[in-house]
């Protein structure tokens, strides 16, 4: 029996989504739960290319067991042509066994993304990430408008999930509203995970 944790599963090439993941982890930890940060390898046009099993830096690669045993999930990707990035989609396409066994049914999940342009597809990317999670039977926690930063932001932040605007050079740091909303998403996910775990404990 492992300690309960929320899995923060993401892909990031230039660091913006990684930074969002770290902020979401802080929100999760604020609720007293472990945040397990995991990434996925890039995919290559070379069919035979194999990534080293441990990345050179940053979070470890996610295993299916990380996903199977989580109490909740935060899923993050850069926006790529208004959609999630292929490496994350590739990982999700390998989760059929979890779907067949209903391993993720009833667990809370939220999503996050980063874009280079302000209206470059944050919402569509977030929605694209929600689709497989709904197929898995997960319970979606977006961000409520009781979060004042959602009304005040001049950058990222949506009711569908946390978002960030990295700018044309991809170097714009998370601003205070974006940080607040990342942490709020993590906190909300973790609190929901705790409530659901406690409910399951009472049923047993
Ligand atoms: C192939 C590709 C497609 C992209 N498509 C979009 C897009 O549709 N809209 C947008 O605003 N930014 C787009 N971007 C920019 C990234 O979403 C943005 O730089 C993001 O902040 C990268 O996150 P990362 O630093 O975590 O890798 C694209 C980048 C690449 C490489």
What is the per-residue pLDDT across 71-81, written as a single tens digit (0 to 9) for each?
999 999 999 99
pLDDT digits (tens, 9 = 90+) for 81-91: 999 999 999 99
Q: Name, in order, each residue with C-beta under 8 angstroms of 144's C-beta and a sequence gap of 6 or more.
A: 150, 159, 188
- Closest among 37, 73, 21 to 178, alpha carbons compared: 21
Q: What is the number of domains present in the chain?
A: 1
pLDDT of 106 strictly over 60: yes
Q: Is the pLDDT of residue 108 over 90?
A: yes
Cα 20 vs. chain centroid, distance in angstroms? Answer: 9
Predicted confidence at residue 48, as pLDDT, reads 62
The bridge status of strand 108-115 relative to strand 162-165 is parallel
Strand segments (E) across 92-168: 108-115, 139-140, 162-165
| Residue 16 CB less than 6 A away from ligand 1 | yes
Residue written as token pair 């409520």: 144
pTM for this prediction: 0.95
**Which residue lies with its CA nearest to atom 30 of ligand 1?**
80
Ligand 1 mutation pick, 21, 77, 115, max ligand atoms within 8 A of CB = 115
* Nearest Cα residue to atom 28 of ligand 1: 80
Residue of 3 and 176 predicted with greater confidence: 176
Q: Which domain holds residue 144?
A: 5-43+51-203
pLDDT of 204 = 60
Pocket test for ligand 1, best of 12, 39, 45, 81 (most atoms within 8 A of CB): 81
Average model confidence (pLDDT) across the chain: 95
**pLDDT, average across residues 22-45:** 95
CATH at 119: 3.40.50.360
Measured in Å, residue 173 CA sits from the centre of ligand 1 at: 14
- In the prediction, which pLDDT does 43 show? 87
- Tell how far the Cα of 1 is from the centroid of ligand 1, in angstroms: 39
Cα distances (angstroms) measured from residue 79 to each of 60, 108, 157, 177: 22, 22, 14, 19
User: Which of left, alpha, beta for 87 (phi over 0: left; psi -120 to 50: alpha)?
Assistant: alpha
8-state DSSP, 57: S
| Ligand 1 atom index nearest CA of 121 | 9
Residues 6+ apart with CB under 8 A from 45: none
Atom of ligand 1 nearest to the CA of 166: 21
Q: How far apart are CA 151 and CA 13, in angstroms?
A: 29
pLDDT for 1? 57
């Amino acid at each position: 029996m492992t300690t309960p944790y929320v899995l923060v599963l993401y892909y990031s090439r230039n660091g913006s989504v990684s930074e969002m993941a770290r902020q979401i982890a802080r929100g999760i930890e604020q609720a007293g739960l472990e945040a397990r940060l995991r990434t996925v390898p890039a995919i290559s046009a070379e069919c035979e290319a194999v990534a080293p099993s441990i990345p050179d830096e940053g979070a470890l690669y996610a295993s299916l067991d990380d996903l199977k045993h989580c109490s909740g999930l935060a899923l993050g990707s850069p926006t790529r042509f208004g959609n999630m990035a292929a490496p994350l989609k590739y990982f999700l396409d390998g989760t059929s066994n979890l779907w067949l066994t209903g391993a993720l049914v009833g667990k809370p999940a939220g999503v996050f993304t980063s874009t280079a342009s302000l209206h470059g597809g944050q919402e569509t990317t977030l929605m694209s990430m929600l689709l497989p999670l709904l197929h898995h039977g997960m319970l979606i926690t977006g961000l409520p408008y009781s979060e004042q930063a959602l009304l005040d932001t001049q950058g990222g932040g949506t009711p569908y999930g946390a978002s960030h605007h990295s700018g044309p050079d991809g170097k714009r740091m998370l601003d205070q509203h974006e940080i607040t909303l990342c942490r709020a998403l993590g906190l909300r996910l973790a609190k929901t995970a705790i409530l659901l775990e406690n409910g399951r404990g009472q049923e047993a």
